[in-house]
Structure formats: C-alpha cells, structure tokens
C-alpha cells in the first residue's frame, strides 16, 4: 500500500437542497413566457390589428436582462427556501409588479412613432402570463410566511396605485388608457351601477339567508326541501334565468300599476336583482346554517347555566361564535355576485358588463379588459377584505 493510499480521502459535504417545487416551476414558466411570447403589441390605430414584439424589442437589452434576473431570482431563492428567503422572494415579486408599468413606459418610448398620434400599445400574452404567475407566487409565499390576507392586499394596493400613476401621467399611448379616456364618465357610472346591484343583492341575501337558516334550525322538515330548491336554482344558467323572468315580470308591470310605478319591468334592474339573490342564497344559507350548528353545545350549556335566556344565548354566544363562518358565506356570496352582475348587462341592468359585451361585439379586446379588469379587482378586494375580517374574528385573531 502506497503512502497516497494511506492518506484519508477528503469528502465534500454538499448542502442538501429542499427546493419549493411550486415556486421553482412558476419561475420557469415566467422565464419561458417572457422569452417565447410577445410582451407587447403595437397598432397604428384602433382598427388595425397590432404587431407583437418580443422582450428585446420592447425593453431593449438592459430591460430584458433586468427582468430576466429578477424572475430567475425567484427560482434561485426557492431552491433553498427559509423564512428569510421567503421574505426576500416577497420583496422581489412586489418589485417585479412595480416595474411592469415602467417597462410599458419604456416600450412606448421605443416602439411608438411620435408621428402616429393614434398609435396604441397593447399588452401581449407574456405580460398577462407573468402577471398571473406572480399572483400565484404571492399566494404561495403568503401561505409559507403564514401571513393574513391583509398584508398581500396592502401590497397589491400600493402596486395598483403606482400603476395608476404611471397610466395617468406617462402611458397615454396604452390602448386600455385610451379606451378609458374615450368613455370615462360612462365608466364611472358603470362602476356605480355594478356596486349598487351587488350591494343590494348581497344585503337581501344576508337577511333572507339568516332568516331561512334560523327557520331550518327550528323546523327540521324545512331543511331538506329548502336545500333542494336552492340547489336547483344553482343549476339554472344565468341567461336562462333572465329569460324565464322576463315574461312574468313584464306581465306584472303591465297589470299591476303599483309595480309599474316603482320601476318593475321585464328588463333592467328588477330581473337582475331577483337572479342575483336567487344565486346568492345557497352559499349564504349553507354557511349560516353550518355556522350556527357548529357552535359547541358545552359553551351553550355553560351560558344556560349562567342564567342566560334563549334569546341572550343566541345573540351573545351563538351568533358571535358563528360570525367568522357566517362572514365566509358573505365573502363567497359577494364575490359570486360581482361576477354574475356582469351578465346582467345583457338585460339592460348596466354595470361593467356593458363594456365586456360591447367590446366583444366590436372585436375590441381593450374595451373588454376595461370592463373585466375592474370586476377582477373588485372581487379580489372584497375577497381579501372579508377574508381578513373573518380571520380577525376567529379565536386568536390576527397575529
């Protein structure tokens, strides 16, 4: 045996990686979309279809390289995740979202010809894919850091404010901004109509849902029949329900003067509210009934032992303990109503759905986005706000 054989063999100790497969995969998807799909499109006017442009054409080498490094950072940090790395990932994702409108400003400078005042800059497939995947990353990081829904909402609100400032002062050539400026008053009116319809429908659903759930608890025979009817209403397509309501409401308006005077008709707000309430009752009743039933009998027995009457036990014990689950029903109902209200535009109820169907009829996707994006933002805000409130009311509250 030689001297070299007698020497101990050095062993390299490699750190064992425990990558977050979800974040690594999402990072790879973003990189593939960023380099393989069109980031933006440029059209000389509203009628002509836009020409797609890659990341290099839209941002130049510096911008494309910076975006690539930031996206790759998400995957690199996700290879050996820790609480510190997740916080760094959260900062990277927020920075990427904040830089997205800045990239559009650079694209408008590089691609838009000043001699074409009607030129329009559109968002390409890569832009939407990266934005959607960043939101998925944000959800994953929120779960890993065990954050409440309030923090991502605040971060996204700040990013949205930055986007709005960029769109107001430096993105006049963006097609979505041009569509808004052409019909800003109509847009504000549509948002008001949309929120009003949702607010009235959800308020009626909360009152009816709470009343029906309490009746179902008192009369057990009512439970099976009520849930059967509510489940049946959910199976009816929204457009079919609007069609079924048109004839009877028109007949009532024609034969009952009082209903005609208060504005009941076969089209417009009345059938929209009836349909929204019908679709909203099932999640509201189900969550309310479940919330009231799941209150611990021992807690109620203790309250009874303290001398509380039945009414006091309900309002001071059962309802406060059931409130977090009840709020989840309100959250589901409201988010569902925000989306369904868009369809109500087809029967003259107004709202943001008007832009969606006008854009589809004119093959103007930017007008479709003008109606769809605010609906999405409203749904996200309501979901986050009511979800955070429900978390705060649970035992332990917000940490």
- Would you say 109 and 54 are in contact if contact means Cβ atoms under 8 Å apart? no
- The residue-averaged pLDDT of 170-182 equals 86
Output the pLDDT for position 346. Answer: 86
Q: Rg (Cα) of the chain, in Å, rounded?
A: 27
Q: Please tell me the distance from the alpha carbon of residue 100 to that of residue 104, in angstroms, as a whole number.
A: 7
pLDDT tens digits, 340-390:
999 888 888 888 999 999 888 887 888 888 899 899 889 888 888 888 888
What are 146's two structure tokens?
């065990």
DSSP state letters, 48-72: SPPEEE-HHHHHHHHHHHHHHHHHH
In which element (H, E) is residue 147 found? Answer: none
> pLDDT digit string (tens) for 223-255?
888 888 888 888 888 888 888 888 888 888 888
Extents of the domains making up the chain: 21-172, 184-393
As a whole number of angstroms, the longest Cα–Cα distance in the chain is 112
The H or E element that residue 114 is part of is: none
What pLDDT was estimated at residue 80?
78
Q: Cα(297)–Cα(181) distance, rounded to whole angstroms?
A: 59
- Assigned CATH topology for domain 184-393: MetI-like fold (1.10.3720)
pTM of the model: 0.82
Nearest-CA neighbor of 37 among 128, 120, 103? 128
Q: What's the pLDDT at 17?
A: 57
Strands 120-123 and 40-43: antiparallel
Query: Does 181 score more than 80 pLDDT?
Result: yes
Q: What confidence score (pLDDT) does residue 254 get?
A: 82
The pLDDT mean for the chain works out to 84
Q: State mean pLDDT over 210-221.
A: 85
């Amino acid at each position: 045996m030689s001297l070299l054989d007698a020497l101990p063999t050095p062993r390299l100790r490699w750190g064992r990686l425990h990558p977050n497969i979800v974040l690594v995969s999402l990072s790879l998807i973003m990189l593939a979309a960023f380099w393989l799909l069109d980031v933006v499109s440029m059209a000389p006017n509203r009628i002509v279809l836009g020409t797609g442009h890659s990341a290099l054409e839209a941002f130049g080498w510096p911008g494309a390289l910076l975006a690539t490094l930031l996206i790759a950072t998400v995957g690199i940090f996700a290879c050996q995740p820790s609480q510190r790395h997740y916080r760094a990932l959260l900062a990277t994702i927020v920075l990427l979202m904040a830089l997205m409108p800045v990239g559009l400003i650079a694209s408008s400078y590089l691609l838009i010809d000043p001699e074409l005042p009607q030129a329009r800059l559109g968002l390409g497939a890569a832009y939407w894919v990266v934005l959607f995947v960043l939101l998925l990353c944000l959800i994953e990081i929120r779960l890993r850091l065990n954050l409440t829904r309030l923090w991502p909402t605040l971060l996204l609100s700040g990013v949205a404010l930055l986007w709005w400032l960029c769109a107001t002062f430096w993105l006049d050539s963006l097609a979505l901004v041009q569509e808004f400026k052409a019909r800003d008053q109509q847009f504000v009116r549509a948002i008001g109509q949309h929120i009003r319809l949702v607010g009235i429908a959800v308020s009626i659903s909360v009152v009816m849902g709470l009343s029906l759930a309490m009746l179902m608890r008192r009369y057990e025979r009512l439970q099976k029949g009520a849930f059967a009817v509510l489940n049946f209403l959910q199976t009816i397509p929204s457009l079919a329900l609007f069609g079924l309501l048109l004839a009877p409401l028109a007949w009532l308006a024609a034969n009952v003067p009082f209903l005609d005077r208060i504005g009941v008709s076969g089209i417009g707000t009345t059938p929209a509210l009836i349909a929204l309430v019908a679709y909203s009752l099932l999640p509201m009743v189900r969550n309310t009934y479940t919330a009231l039933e799941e209150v611990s009998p021992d807690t109620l027995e203790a309250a009874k032992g303290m001398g509380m009457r039945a009414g006091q036990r309900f309002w001071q014990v059962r309802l406060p303990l059931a409130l977090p689950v009840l709020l989840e029903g309100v959250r589901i109902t409201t988010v569902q109503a925000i989306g369904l209200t868009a369809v109500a535009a087809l029967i003259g109820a107004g709202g943001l759905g008007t832009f969606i169907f006008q854009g589809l009829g004119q093959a103007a996707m930017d007008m479709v986005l003008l109606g769809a994006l605010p609906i999405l933002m409203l749904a996200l805000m309501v979901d986050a706000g009511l979800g955070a409130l429900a978390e705060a009311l649970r035992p332990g509250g917000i940490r």
